[in-house]
């Protein structure tokens, strides 16, 4: 099916592009119908991007949406003739309302694509347009309830506030200039003499009540999906088009004003490997997640490893997510240990993660042993939940596990609202450090850039120590050559050490864990791990918020 989809999309995209550009309009097709056809093709591109992570598919969606928006295909139709009958006028108003709903949905989809493309100016413009359109709709259709769209705007505000907290930050995607360390290439190469595994498939899901999200993309999966992609070269940045308030567009690329859809076929960078494919599941049931995992494992090649990322609450009362994600001071309940002696008893509330809307019941509980059948295949498991430690009891073949702390950390009185803290560290470690230390988003740009350089050097040093360790478990050795997984491991080491020194005394509930254990040379107590964090804290003038002196 994947092979059949691409040619069909290319044929449809060319014909729809000609229509959108005004070069050939089918007789009798109204403007909003043209827009709807083009929008559906844009959706096809976007859906393909979500599965394959192909940059050209994301660009294809952006190009179509930009063409629709700039030409105003969903603009309000002309008002009914004054001499028209009441029935005709009522019919025209009803059709206008339907078109308005189509326009609102279209702008919401366009916004998601623009955010993934990191088009800040386009995002700002589209947010303003969506907000004004909701206001206009309430005035034009006073008898219609637009409460749902008010909620969409609230979700959007929360999402953008969390995603854009530190505007000077780098892309979350893997950038060879910043995430690859040439000095360590020889050390990494030694692992190629043995069996190595490549990340080719990933399953990403997040399920929390009232979590930060926009449409069907949660903040946690939004971050994680980008962190598993290569940062494309300059060809990814198609010509800048300045969106204007009336929906028209100032085209800086040439006199014709036409958008060349063939740009989307020229995005591939021959110097970069393909991105891992992935399945992004929004609020799945346990049975749905199991079905997806089974399907993907059937197609997994022998040299591949599957990454499973789950961000979910450990409690049926999912309001606990906000307590978990924002502040450790809001959780006073002592953590009970997960009994590995009776893994099938399921009598406690801390031996599973919860995939469900509300209420309580076994069908929505995901237990560690549910994943046992999939350990026949190489697995890299990332769990962000207050019950993540339940998965330390995972049986079956050895798998690589990164497990979040049971209790998140924060400065007293500071509410993060930034999604899962563990996910934040794995995908945007510099931003996560600033948020943890209570550094405001208006930080000086030069200071922030210097901090980024310190972090770069720290991770480079961590990679050197890890890649030259004699006692490295074979599970880690097989996956260390993969750049995406190696970056996750290095950021885990950084996260664990930062949280270790954030607390005056050692509390296991505040620290992430991994299985199998990593070498002692990368433990928080190691001087080579501690020193860069101390330097980072001093550079940001927050060393007084950590406990470097009394931790050994």
Q: pLDDT tens-digit profile of 419-452?
A: 899 999 999 999 999 999 999 888 999 999 999 9
Place 338 in a pLDDT band, splitting at 50, 70 and 90.
Answer: very low
Using alpha carbons, select from 302, 263, 388 the residue that is nearest to residue 13. Answer: 263
Give pLDDT, residue 347.
45
On whether the CB atoms of residues 424 and 223 are closer than 8 A, the answer is yes
Q: How far apart are alpha carbons 105 and 100 in whole angstroms?
A: 9
Rounded Cα gap, residues 290 and 303, in angstroms: 22
Instruction: List Cα–Cα distances, 435 to 260, 357, 385, 411, in angstroms.
Output: 41, 28, 19, 9
Q: How far apart are CA 459 and CA 184, in angstroms?
A: 11
CA pair distance 509, 492, nearest whole angstrom: 16
Cα-based angle 394, 395, 401 (whole degrees, multiple of 5): 40
- Contact in structure between 179 and 483 (CB atoms under 8 Å): yes
Pairing of strands 241-243, 249-251: antiparallel
137-160 pLDDT, tens digit each: 999 888 888 999 999 999 999 999
Q: Of residues 344 and 383, which shows the higher confidence score?
A: 383
Residue 325 or 168, more confident = 168
What burial class does residue 381 get, using C-beta atoms within 10 Å of its C-beta: 0-12 exposed, 13-18 middle, 19+ buried?
buried
Contact assessment for residue 351 and residue 367, using Cβ atoms and an 8 Å cutoff: yes
- Separation of alpha carbons 539 and 535, rounded Å: 6
What pLDDT does 83 receive? 57
CA–CA distance, 498 with 344 (Å, rounded to integer):
35
> Which of 82-86, 166-170, 179-183 has the lowest average pLDDT?
82-86
Which range among 126-130, 342-346, 412-416 shows the weakest confidence by mean pLDDT?
A: 342-346
Q: Is it the case that residue 32 has pLDDT exceeding 70?
A: yes
Note the pLDDT of residue 129.
96
Highest mean pLDDT among 261-270, 468-477, 499-508: 468-477
Where do we find the tokens 């930050």?
A: 169
Q: Confidence class of residue 11 from pLDDT cuts 50, 70 and 90?
A: very low
> What average pLDDT does the structure give for the chain?
82
Q: How confident is the model at residue 84 (pLDDT cuts 50, 70, 90)?
A: low
For the chain, give the longest Cα–Cα distance: 87
What is the reported pLDDT for 10? 45
Domain spans in the chain, listed from the N-terminal domain onward: 2-160, 164-232+267-545
143, 128, 224, 303 alpha-carbon torsion, rounded to 10°: 90
Is pLDDT of 321 > 60?
Answer: no
| pLDDT for the residue 414 | 62
Q: Summarize pLDDT for 385-404 with one digit per residue, the tens.
A: 999 999 987 677 889 999 99
Burial (0-12, 13-18, 19+ Cβ within 10 Å), 72: middle
Torsion angle (degrees, nearest 10) of CA 129, 240, 231, 175:
-110
Tell me the residue ranges of DSSP E strands in 45-197: none
Q: Is the pLDDT of residue 131 over 50?
A: yes
Residue 86 pLDDT: 60
- pLDDT-derived band at 471 (thresholds 50, 70, 90) equals confident
User: Phi and psi of 277, rounded to 5°?
Assistant: -75, 160
Ranked by mean pLDDT, the top range of 3-7, 9-13, 343-347, 445-449 is 445-449
């Amino acid at each position: 099916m994947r092979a059949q989809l691409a040619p069909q999309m290319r044929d449809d995209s060319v014909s729809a592009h000609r229509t959108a550009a005004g070069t050939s309009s089918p007789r009798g097709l109204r403007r909003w119908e043209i827009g709807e056809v083009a929008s559906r093709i844009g959706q096809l591109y976007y859906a393909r991007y979500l599965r394959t992570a192909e940059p050209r598919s994301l660009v294809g969606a952006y190009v179509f949406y930009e063409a629709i928006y700039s030409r105003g295909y969903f603009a309000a139709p002309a008002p009914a003739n004054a001499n028209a009958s009441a029935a005709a006028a009522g019919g025209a108003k009803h059709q206008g309302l339907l078109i308005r709903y189509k326009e609102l949905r279209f702008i919401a989809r366009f916004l998601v694509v623009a955010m993934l493309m990191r088009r800040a100016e386009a995002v700002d413009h589209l947010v303003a347009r969506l907000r004004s359109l909701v206001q206009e709709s309430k005035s034009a259709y006073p008898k219609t309830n637009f409460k749902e769209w008010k909620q969409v705007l609230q979700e959007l505000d929360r999402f953008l506030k969390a995603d854009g907290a530190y505007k000077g930050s780098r892309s979350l995607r893997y950038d060879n200039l910043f995430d690859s360390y040439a000095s360590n290439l020889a050390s990494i190469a030694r692992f190629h003499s043995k069996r190595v595994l490549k990340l080719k498939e990933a399953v990403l899901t997040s399920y929390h009540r009232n979590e930060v999200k926009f449409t069907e993309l949660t903040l946690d999966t939004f971050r994680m999906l980008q962190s598993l992609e290569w940062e494309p070269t300059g060809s990814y940045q198609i010509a800048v088009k300045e969106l204007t308030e009336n929906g028209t567009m100032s085209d800086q690329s040439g006199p014709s004003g036409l958008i060349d859809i063939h740009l989307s076929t020229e995005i591939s960078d021959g110097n970069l490997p393909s991105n891992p494919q992935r399945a992004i599941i929004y609020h799945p049931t346990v049975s749905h997640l199991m079905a997806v995992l089974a399907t993907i494992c059937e197609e997994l090649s022998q040299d591949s490893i599957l990454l499973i990322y789950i961000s979910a609450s450990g409690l049926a009362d999912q309001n606990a997510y906000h307590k978990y994600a924002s502040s450790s001071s809001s959780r006073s309940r002592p953590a009970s240990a997960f009994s590995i002696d009776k893994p099938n008893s399921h009598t406690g509330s801390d031996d599973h993660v919860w995939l469900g809307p509300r209420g309580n019941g076994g069908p929505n509980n995901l237990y560690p042993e549910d994943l046992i059948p999939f350990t026949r295949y190489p697995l890299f498991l990332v769990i962000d939940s207050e019950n993540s430690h339940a998965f330390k009891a995972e049986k079956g073949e050895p798998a690589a596990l990164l497990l979040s702390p049971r209790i998140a950390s924060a400065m007293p009185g500071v509410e993060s609202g930034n999604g899962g803290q563990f996910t934040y560290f794995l995908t945007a470690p510099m931003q996560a450090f600033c948020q943890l230390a209570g550094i405001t988003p208006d930080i000086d740009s030069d200071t922030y850039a210097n901090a980024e350089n310190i972090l770069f050097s720290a991770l480079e040093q961590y990679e050197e120590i890890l890649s030259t360790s004699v006692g490295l478990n074979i599970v880690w050795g097989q996956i260390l050559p993969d750049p995406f997984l190696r970056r996750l491991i290095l950021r885990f080491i950084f996260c664990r050490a930062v949280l270790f020194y954030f607390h005056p005394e050692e509390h296991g509930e505040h620290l992430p864990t991994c299985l199998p254990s990593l070498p002692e040379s990368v433990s928080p107590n190691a001087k080579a791990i501690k020193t860069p964090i101390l330097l980072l804290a001093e550079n940001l003038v927050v060393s007084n918020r950590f406990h470097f002196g009394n931790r050994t």
